[in-house]
Amino acid sequence: MKIATVLGARPQFIKAAPVSRVLRKQYTEVLIHTGQHYDPNMSAIFFEELNIPTPDYYLGVGSGSHGKQTGEMLMKIEEIVMQEKPDYVLVYGDTNSTLAGALVASKLHIPVIHVEAGLRSFNKQMPEEINRIMTDHVSELLFCPTETAVENLRKENITRNVWNVGDVMYDAILYNKELAQRQSTILADLSLAEQSYYLITIHRAENTDDPDKLKAILAAFRDIDGTKVWPIHPRTRHKLEEYGLDASAIPGLRLIDPVGYLDMLRLESGAKKIITDSGGVQKEAYFLRVPCVTVREQTEWVETLKGGANILTGTDREKIVAAVHKEVAPVYADVFGDGHAAEKIVAAIGQR
C-alpha cells in the first residue's frame, strides 16, 4: 500500500515523526513537503533532529496570501498525486498545507486520512477553523486526539470511520522528553536556571495581525516581572517590525530565534509558566505539567482548562498579567491517550 503524506508547517513535522516511523514499517510513504515553512529553524532542523525521512517532493511554495499559497499548493500537489497514484493521502492538523492535500485527494477520489480530526474553536475568523472543517468533511478516515473531538464530529454528522487514538504529539513528547533533558544545552547556553523564567510563544494571526492586540500583549509582558524567554515566530517578528514595535526594550524579555524541538522541550520543562497562543505548546505544557496561560479567547484543547492547568485570557493586558501572576495548583488527567496514537492509526488503516 502507498500513502502520500502532505505536510509543510512546523507542528506537522513534529506530528509526522512518530507516525512516519510506524507507517514505514508496513507501507510505502511518499512525503510531500509544500514548503509553507522554509527557514532552516522552521523546517530542516526538525527533519534532522527527529529523523524524519527526506521529503520525496519539495514544492517550495513559501509564504503568501491564503489564496495564492493554497492555490499554488493545489496545482503542485495535484500533479504529484496524479503521477504517484497513492492509495491514501494523509494530512495533519489545520494549516493551509492540510487543506490543500485534502482537497486535491478528495477531488481525485483518493481517500483522505486526517490526523488530529475533530478539533474546533467555534471561531470561523480563524483560518485554521476553516481548514479543519473543510478537511474533516472530505476525509475518509478521521483520527481524533480526544473524546471531545469525536463528539465535535458527531455533532456535524461525521460518525463513520472516526477513531479516538489519542494525540500524536503525546507520542512525540514521550519519545523525545528524556533525550531533550540529556542533549539540550539551551538552559546553560542562555544562562537560565530551572524555574527562573517564563516561556513565551505568540504567532496566531488573530493576535499578530492586529496592531492593537499585539501592543496589548507587549504591554502585558512589560508588566510581568522577571525573565521572559521568547523564541519568536517569523510572522510575529515581521509584524513587530511592520508596526514599529520594539519588544527588545521590554525589561527582562529575551528574544531568541525559533529553536529546535529538543531545545523547545527543555525550555518548556524548565519554565515556571508558559504563555502562548500555540495549540501544540498548550498541550506540551499540559504533558509536562507546567502551568499555562493562553492568550486567546477560545481553545480547541478544552481538556487543558479543566483542573486549572491552562487559563484563557484573550489579549486583555490585565487578564494576562493576573493569570501569569496567579498561584495555581492544577489537577491533571490522562485525556490525550496512552502515547501509542501512531500505532493505532497504522493498525486502523491496515484493517480497512
Considering CB distances under 5 to 8 angstroms, the limit depending on partner class, which of ligand UDP, ligand UD1, none binds residue 36? Answer: ligand UD1
Q: State the Rg of the chain over Cα.
A: 20
Q: Contacts with ligand UDP in 225-284 (CB under 6 A)?
A: 231, 258-261, 264, 278-281, 284
Burial 79-102 (b: 16+ CB within 10 A, else e): ebbeebebebbbbbbbbbbbbbbb
Cell digits of residue 37: 515553512
Q: Kindly give the interhelix angle for 10-26 and 341-350, rounded to the nearest 10 degrees.
A: 50
Q: Does 203 qualify as catalytic in the annotation?
A: yes
Stretch that binds ligand UDP, among 8-16, 136-144, 159-167, 289-297 (CB under 6 A): 8-16
| Type of residue found at 25 | K
> Regarding beta strands 112-115 and 227-231, do their DSSP bridges make them parallel or antiparallel, or are they unpaired?
unpaired
In the complex, least distance from residue 12 CB atom to ligand UD1, rounded to whole angstroms: 8
CA distance 299 to 161: 25
Q: Based on the shown chain and the rule CB under 6 A, indicate whether residue 39 belongs to the binding site for ligand UD1.
A: yes
CA distance 46 to 2: 24
Q: Based on the shown chain and the rule CB under 6 A, indicate whether residue 305 belongs to the binding site for ligand UD1.
A: no
Q: Contacts with ligand UDP in 150-189 (CB under 6 A)?
A: none
Given 33, 37, 114, 203, the catalytic residue: 203
Stretch that binds ligand UD1, among 91-99, 166-174, 184-192, 223-231 (CB under 6 A): 91-99
Nearer to ligand UD1, 211 or 234 (CB): 234
Nearer to ligand UDP, 111 or 116 (CB): 116
In the complex, least distance from residue 117 CB atom to ligand UD1, rounded to whole angstroms: 15
For the chain, list the strands marked E by DSSP. 2-7, 28-33, 57-58, 88-92, 112-115, 141-144, 162-164, 197-201, 227-231, 253-256, 273-276, 292-294, 310-312
Among 38, 58, 163, 175, binds ligand UD1 (CB under 6 A): 38
* Catalytic residue set: 203
Q: Which residues bind ligand UDP (CB under 6 A)?
A: 10-11, 14, 201, 203, 231, 258-261, 264, 278-281, 284
